[in-house]
Amino acid sequence: MDKSRFAVSRRGFLKGSSAALGGLVLSTWLPGFVPRSVAAEATAAGRLGDQSPRAYGAYVRIGHDGLVTVISPKIEMGQGAHTGIAMMVAEELEVPLSAVTIEDAPPDSELYADSLMQFQATGGSTSTRHSWKPLREAGATARLLLIQAAAARWGVDASQCHAKNGEVFGPAEQKLGYGELVDAASELPLPTEVVLKTPEQFTLLGTPARRIDTPNKVNGKAQFTIDLSVPGMLIASTMTCPVYGGTLLSVDDTTAKKVPGVRDVIKLDNAVAVTASNYWACQQGLKALKVEWDLGEHASINSAQIDEALLQASSRDGVVAHSTGDIGKALESAASRFEAVYEQAFLSHSPLEPMTCVAHVRADACELWVGTQVPVFAQQTAAKISGLPADKIIVNNQLIGGAFGRRLDYDFITQAVDVARHVSYPIKLIWSREEDMTHDLYRPQYADRLTAALDADGKPTGWQHRIAGASVLGRYMGSLPENGVDADAVEVAIEPIYELQNLLVNYVREEPKVVPVSWWRGVGPLRSTYALECFIDELAHNAGADPVEFRLSLLAEQPRAQAVLRLAAEKAGWGNTLPAGQGRGVAVSAVFGSYVATVVEMEMLGDKAVRIKRLVSAIDCGLVTNPTSVHAQIEGGTLFGLSASLFNEILIEQGVVQQTNFHNYRQLRINEAPGVEVHIVPSLEAPGGVGETGTALIGPALVNALHAASGTRLRRLPLSRAGYYPA
């Protein structure tokens, strides 16, 4: 039995009296780290008819019509979070999924901060892991209160009643709809203890329910930020200094202002903006500008210098992120040693919807309409730029046309507000694809150096793992903790699934500074998994062992890792002999609270032409909310990673990003995309993350398959760098 208690005050839920809001509003959960007094204050603000954002200090609202609104702490960017969260509430509340609609939570750290990340954000594959308990609690609490209200009306004991399909049923076949009960239910004290359903009682969770956001995404009705229009709005586009850190010196806008439709040309510190009646005119206006830049201190930096600096850094010891045993001694006494360096490129996110934000700065308030993974940061940056207090910044979150981590940053929101504060009208900032790609915050380029101590059988007794690269966490948080360790960068590396007596992980912060770095789907676990799973594969081959058997021999204490590895291998026909020029590669890891294994089957169709014949993944992600979403996320996440592993690297010349659009930063297309077979290991463990798991596994499985098929061992991504292409 899963019992839960709430830190919530009596006034923590509220009854709406207006028809629009009407009904029961429940605030059943507050994050554990919020001090009690703050939590009480936050919920006490709620009262009858209160329309302020704090009145949304609630996850569940039930209207007099019986319809349920769930305030989602997680935004929808394609990963299916809205559907999963709606399912969690519907399951415990006993309403059909169709009765639930989702509203995005407003910025409010105290109410909506993620319990794993400790701030209000959608990312890190946390949506299911975070929401699983509080959202089910919210639904279950409402159900209990509605049953109590019905029981009181009928003069029976609540234990004689039950709820189903949006109605409460009594012992004498009485029934009342939720809408008829909400007013009475909202007068009842919150229960101090709520019993959640056990998995075998689930009727909705674990089933392949249809996604709730998709109908409007097949008919053009779904509106993303780029589609919005507010009264009086003009379009804005910007040209930002081509070198990061550079500044604007001067602009001659004589010709630009003659472009039909152009309204204003606005100078910012590092960019120039054109506003116009339409995007095309903005772009024509930008092209007509004569702009002088001060390119700043990074204008002489090239990718070759960055490569060299990272390689050198990977030989330094930096700071110790983790140490068990004594790797020094192990290396001294080893039968043999093996060392390899794995390199991964700067990557752009390039979601198909470019950076876009609608902003209106007025004298008394600033309103944003923007798809963001971090609504509180959006609010804070708007406050800073506009000079208005945070409570005067309204953030209306929107559907997101792809993020992959890009919208965990808010540089484009900052810029939109900066443009908007110069004009009286609202603006919709739309970046061109070229601006989007050349002014991204990139996945860092990394060099991982691994040095293993091997016994007489070629098995590792331990290794030293040095991780060199720019720190995303340091940039994002402003600084790293005193020990100098970037906890994201070393994740998985400090806790590999393999049994090692000696493990030393060093973090070497090496900042190229020429471009800013940020979160990219898969984050630290992606980088670590690539290095570890390529390395273990090399050790297996050097030992003359089968790559699956070699891994299993080091996984005695890891039953879940064993299970996914065995399942993926079995489904992929691992061990069945393939003709010459074909091979299979494997990778397995524990990432984001889940266990995943991927097998790639590859065929060489020439020296450099590769055909991926099969892609097979097995995952144990604990209890599954929606198996369709799990399948879809692994399929998509795997292809997202495959695209980058095959094709993508951001290169820098004279401080300028060289890749500008999809012709020179190409993406996997359907004719190059293998099917992805996904197998879920049934599990009663706590839910794990899914959205980034496929992405983290495909790179090493691909490189290992290339070795199996061709005998060539690549250590640097992408494959295209060595001339390989899909055929």
Partner 1 sequence: MNLLSINGEQHQLDVPDDMPLLWVLRDVLGLTGTKFGCGIAQCGACTVHLDGEAVRSCVLPVSAVAGKAIVTIEAIAENAVGAKVQQAWLEHEVVQCGYCQSGQIMSATALLQYKPSPSDAEIDAGMAGNICRCGTYTRIRAAIKDIGQA
Say whether 710 sits in a helix, a strand or coil.
helix
**Neighbouring residues of 711: CB distance < 8 A, sequence distance ≥ 6:** none
Among 106, 166, 246, 354, binds partner 1 (CB under 8 A): 354
Can you say whether the dihedral through the CA atoms of 227, 228, 229, 235 is positive or negative? negative
Q: In degrees rounded to 5, what are phi and psi of residue 530? A: -60, -50
CA 99 to chain centroid, in Å, comes to: 28
CB of 393 to partner 1, least distance (A): 25
Q: Does 609 bind partner 1 (CB under 8 A)?
A: no
CB of 618 to partner 1, least distance (A): 16
For Cα atoms 702, 706, 707, give the angle at the middle one, nearest 5 degrees: 120
Among 243, 313, 399, 610, binds partner 1 (CB under 8 A): 399
Q: Does 522 bind partner 1 (CB under 8 A)?
A: no
* C-beta closer to partner 1: residue 230 or 311: 230
Q: Does 671 bind partner 1 (CB under 8 A)?
A: yes
Q: Does 98 bind partner 1 (CB under 8 A)?
A: no
CA 113 to chain centroid, in Å, comes to: 15
Among 673, 713, 721, 725, binds partner 1 (CB under 8 A): 673
Q: How many residues bind partner 1 (CB under 8 A)?
A: 61
Distance CA 546, CA 562 (A): 15
Residue with tokens 């915050």: 441
Q: Does 643 bind partner 1 (CB under 8 A)?
A: yes
Q: Does 255 bind partner 1 (CB under 8 A)?
A: no
By CB under 8 A, which span of 35-43, 545-553, 568-576, 667-675 interacts with partner 1?
Answer: 667-675
* C-beta closer to partner 1: residue 91 or 436: 436
Q: Does 648 bind partner 1 (CB under 8 A)?
A: no
By CB under 8 A, which span of 238-246, 271-279, 374-382, 700-708 interacts with partner 1?
Answer: 271-279
Helices 127-154 and 81-93: crossing angle in degrees, nearest 10, is 30
By CB under 8 A, which span of 304-312, 332-340, 662-670, 706-714 interacts with partner 1?
Answer: 662-670
Q: Does 526 bind partner 1 (CB under 8 A)?
A: no
Distance CA 283, CA 259 (A): 10
* C-beta closer to partner 1: residue 628 or 658: 628
350 contacts 664 by C-beta, under 8 angstroms:
no
Tokens of 98: 């169709």
669 contacts 613 by C-beta, under 8 angstroms:
no
CB of 285 to partner 1, least distance (A): 12
What is the torsion angle, in degrees rounded to the nearest 10, for the CA atoms of residue 716, residue 721, residue 722 and residue 727?
Answer: 120
Can you say whether the dihedral through the CA atoms of 714, 715, 719, 723 is positive or negative? negative
Among 670, 682, 684, 723, binds partner 1 (CB under 8 A): 670
By CB under 8 A, which span of 63-71, 247-255, 277-285, 544-552 interacts with partner 1?
Answer: 277-285
Distance CA 724, CA 672 (A): 13
Which parts of 169-228 interact with partner 1 (CB under 8 A)?
210-211, 213-215, 217-224, 226-227
198 contacts 2 by C-beta, under 8 angstroms:
yes
Which parts of 453-492 interact with partner 1 (CB under 8 A)?
none
CB of 437 to partner 1, least distance (A): 9
* C-beta closer to partner 1: residue 159 or 671: 671
* C-beta closer to partner 1: residue 498 or 640: 640
Can you say whether the dihedral through the CA atoms of 7, 11, 15, 18 is positive or negative? negative
Classify residue 196 by its DSSP letter: P
Among 293, 342, 369, 404, binds partner 1 (CB under 8 A): 404
DSSP E strands in 415-550: the ranges are 427-430, 446-454, 460-469, 502-509
* C-beta closer to partner 1: residue 28 or 348: 348
Stated as kind and residue range, the H or E segment containing 708 is: helix 693-710
CB of 282 to partner 1, least distance (A): 10
* C-beta closer to partner 1: residue 111 or 209: 209
Classify residue 277 by its DSSP letter: S
Residue with tokens 């700043």: 296
Which parts of 25-84 interact with partner 1 (CB under 8 A)?
77-80
Q: Does 351 bind partner 1 (CB under 8 A)?
A: yes
Nearest to 242 by CA among 591, 555, 653, 530: 653
CB of 673 to partner 1, least distance (A): 4
* C-beta closer to partner 1: residue 437 or 453: 437
* C-beta closer to partner 1: residue 67 or 222: 222
512 contacts 301 by C-beta, under 8 angstroms:
yes
Tokens of 727: 């055929």
Q: Does 258 bind partner 1 (CB under 8 A)?
A: no
DSSP secondary structure letters along 436-462: HHHT--BBPPEEEEEEEEE-TTS-EEE
Q: Give the C-alpha distances (Å, rounded to integers) separating 90 from 76, 85, 164, 336.
A: 18, 9, 10, 58
CB of 671 to partner 1, least distance (A): 4
Q: Does 432 bind partner 1 (CB under 8 A)?
A: yes
CB of 720 to partner 1, least distance (A): 16
Which positions touch partner 1 (CB under 8 A)?
77-80, 210-211, 213-215, 217-224, 226-227, 229, 235, 260, 277-280, 350-354, 399-404, 430, 432-433, 628, 632, 635-640, 642-643, 661-663, 667-671, 673, 675-676
